[in-house]
Structure formats: C-alpha cells, structure tokens
Amino acid sequence: MGRRVLDGRAQVRRIGGLDAVAAGLFALGVLCVLTGALPWADAAETMRRTLPILLFLATVIVLAELVAEAEVFDVLADRMAVLAGGRPAALFALCVLLASVTTITLNLDTTAVLLTPVMLAVARRTGLSPLPLAMTALWLANTASLLLPVSNLTNLLAADRVALSAPRFAALMIGPQLAAITVTAACLWAGYWRGAIHANATGGRYRSPPGHRPRDPVLFRLALATCAVFAAGAVSGVGVAWVSSGCVAVLAGAFLVRRRTALRVRLLPWRLLVLVTGLFLTVQTIAANGLGEILRALLGDGSGPAGVIRAAATGAVAANLFNNLPVYLAAERVLPAGDLDRLLGLLIGVNAGPLALPWASLATLICLGHLRRHGVRVPWARFVLTGAVTATLAVTAATGAFLLVR
C-alpha cells in the first residue's frame, strides 16, 4: 500500500501535460460557444445530455479508487496469480475474465483507472512482461463494454434513444459481447501473450506471489458489498449516476470513520471531467459545421443488415479519428428516430472499435497514461497495427452476432 501512495503522489507531480490538454480543449469548446460556431441551443442540449454522464464518470471513478484503497483489487490480483498456479495460459484466461467482468459491471473507465495498475503489479510479482497484461486491460476496456448500459458512457448517452430496459438491452447485446470478447482474447494471445510467455517465464511458468491480506478487513468487506450493490443497481433500471453516487456516499462515510486520510481531493477525476466537456463541445462544433453531413453520407439511408454494417463501420472509423463519445452524439443525430438496429450497430462500432489510435477513447488514453508513468514502452507501429486488426475483427464479429439474434 505504501508503494501505491508514493505512486499516487508521483502521478500528481507529473500531470502537467494532461492538465494542459484538458484545459486547452475545454477553452476551445467554450470559445466555440462564445463565437457562435456552436449555437447556444446546441451547446445547451449537449450539456443536458452530458451532465448525467459527468456525474456518473466522477462518482464511478471515485468509487473505484476507494475500492482500490480497500485493497479489493490487490486481493483479486494476487489470488488470480495464485489460482493460475504458475501457468501463464491460465493467468491469461483469468486476466481476460477479470477485465471483461470489471468493464461490463463497473464501466470501461474503471477498468482503465484501476485494472491497468493491477495488471502491472501482477507483472512485477510474477516476472512476466508488463505489456501483454496492460494491453489486456486496454483492449477489453473497450471491447467488453457492449453488454450493459453502465458498461460504456456511449451506452448511457444512447439510453434515451434506445429506450430499452437494462435486461432487454443485455439480451440484444449478449451475442455481440461474447463475440467481441472472444475475438479480442484470440488477438491478445496471438499478438502479445504467446511470445512474451516464452521470453519471460522460466520453463514456461512464472513464480506465484504470496497471498495478499487486506489491512482493514471491515473496509474490504464493505467495499466488496458496495461493488455488489452497484452491479445490481446497474441492471435494475435505476439511474446509474444515482446508484454510483449512493455507493460512493456509503463507502466514503466508512472511510471517514476508519481511514480518513484516504479521502483526498485527487480522488475526484477533474481532468477527465474538463477533458470530456471540452471534447463534447469541440466535436459537436465540428459536427455542426460539416462532420454531421459526412456522417450522414457514410451512414446512408438504408436499413436492414447493410445499414447495420455501415453504422458499425462508420462508428469504428470515426471513433478512431475523433473519439468515440462525441462521435456517437454526432452520428446519433443523423439517424432517424426509432431506427434501433442501426443505433445498436453504431454502438458496436464506437464501443468495440476505438483500438487503433491512442485518442480514440478515454479508456485508451487512461491506460496509456498508466503505462507511460510506469515506464512501460509501447511500440507504436505494433500498437496501431494490432489495434486496427483487432478492432476490425471484433466489430465484424460483434455485428455479425447482432444480425443473427436481433
């Protein structure tokens, strides 16, 4: 735990670049509104749609940070490594499972914020290369975010237009979700894990770490219970922002009593909130001044399987060029009301597709930031190539699965 505290302080000292990007993008978005490049009515509508997302983003990341402080993720990581019994292939399967479950139930940004450092810690404790473990979190943070409305902020943005209950949404997306995870796992194994295992593990095995015991069992159990409540609330139909806010309030109250020093200002992800706000306003301005018409032409007017495929492909390509969140909003506006199939196809593209370029999703940016701070070198040519191949295969497989079960 001491190392995590020191790492956190080091991160606070090294955030200047991200601060500048967030502030600059926010200033550009405000300038777009003030100059009239983005009409006031459009800006107000964008913020109306975005504010619940910002509340959810803030509270779910604080919740995840407090869960980490309670050492839930440390225990899971160590037990995962021990459970695999020194077998890298078994560890790979468990990493895929943990990253998928975390993304589906706690949101892709939670996976990016917390699971990436956990994966890096597993690498240190087992002697395996950190890049394959980190890429597992990075890719699955995106491709495992199809199943529930809470899994991705784009799903929450789509809630009004989709107008489906969480169980009905999951019933339609379970096939695409399983297809995307399966393809991603295959690409992770072929592109990162297989070669790294032979290069880093003696005799094809790794050393198992000792079991981790949380220093405060009460906080640990309460954090586990809070995660369970949050996961249940995510599929109950209650507003997820209110569920995450309530869970944060309960867990923060427990920390206030038992470990007040853990409640720090840096828990609030204000950089992400500023960045997301600026990103939405800026890309909406671009959409209002030409991008919307381009998206309309790419999406076309057709429905049926061809329309779904075009929507998924357009969403994936545009998400990599601009960022999946504002691209979803811009593309949604040009789709006819009630066109559920193409809307879900678009969600498949913007959720499973943002793997090729580093700015394609917030989760990708967060994961890459962790790697940079921990000194993990990312070969960019390999990152772009493997990401583009995986995104193409995952979006294709997920779209095909959707067309089979819709």
Tokens of 79: 């037990």
User: Quick one: average pLDDT of 341-349?
Assistant: 96
Say whether pLDDT at 259 is over 50: yes
Confidence of residue 187 (pLDDT cuts 50, 70, 90): very high
Integer Cα distance of 172 and 192 in angstroms: 31
pLDDT at 336: 86
How many other C-beta atoms lie within 10 A of the C-beta of residue 287? 24
Share the mean pLDDT of the chain.
86
pLDDT in tens, 351-362: 999 999 988 998
Amino acid occupying residue 291: L
Instruction: Measure the CA angle with vertex 292, ends 271 and 36; round to 5°.
Output: 65
Distance of CA 263 to the CA centre of its chain: 24
72, with CB counted inside 10 A (0-12, 13-18, 19+), is buried
pLDDT at 12: 40
- Comparing CA positions, the residue from 186, 202, 182, 203 lying closest to residue 194 is 186
How many other C-beta atoms lie within 10 A of the C-beta of residue 158? 22
User: Quick one: average pLDDT of 83-89?
Assistant: 88
User: Quick one: average pLDDT of 42-60?
Assistant: 85
pLDDT at 13: 42
Confidence of residue 204 (pLDDT cuts 50, 70, 90): low
More confident residue, 146 or 165: 146
- Comparing CA positions, the residue from 269, 215, 281 lying closest to residue 42 is 281
pLDDT at 169: 94
Say whether pLDDT at 145 is over 80: yes
Confidence of residue 14 (pLDDT cuts 50, 70, 90): very low
pLDDT in tens, 102-142: 899 888 888 887 788 889 888 887 888 999 999 999 999 99
How many other C-beta atoms lie within 10 A of the C-beta of residue 56? 22
Confidence of residue 1 (pLDDT cuts 50, 70, 90): very low
Considering the entire predicted model, what is its pTM?
Answer: 0.81
User: Quick one: average pLDDT of 53-59?
Assistant: 85
- Comparing CA positions, the residue from 398, 68, 403 lying closest to residue 227 is 68
112, with CB counted inside 10 A (0-12, 13-18, 19+), is buried
Tokens of 205: 């095995």
Confidence of residue 248 (pLDDT cuts 50, 70, 90): very high
Long-range pairs, 93-100, Cβ under 8 A, ≥24: 95/119, 95/122, 95/133, 95/136, 96/136, 96/140, 96/181, 96/184, 96/185, 96/188, 99/136, 99/137, 99/140, 99/141, 99/144, 100/140, 100/144, 100/181
pLDDT in tens, 291-302: 778 888 888 887
pLDDT at 18: 60
pLDDT at 289: 82
pLDDT in tens, 303-329: 789 999 999 999 999 999 988 988 998
Residue 367 to residues 15, 167, 311, 361, 396, Cα–Cα distance (Å): 14, 30, 27, 10, 24
- Comparing CA positions, the residue from 112, 280, 89 lying closest to residue 185 is 89
Q: Judge whether 248 and 63 are in contact, CB under 8 Å.
A: yes
Phi, psi torsion values for 302, nearest 5 degrees: -75, 155
pLDDT at 231: 78
pLDDT at 130: 92
Residue 84 CB contacts under 8 Å (≥ 6 apart), including other chains? 90, 91, 93, 94, 208
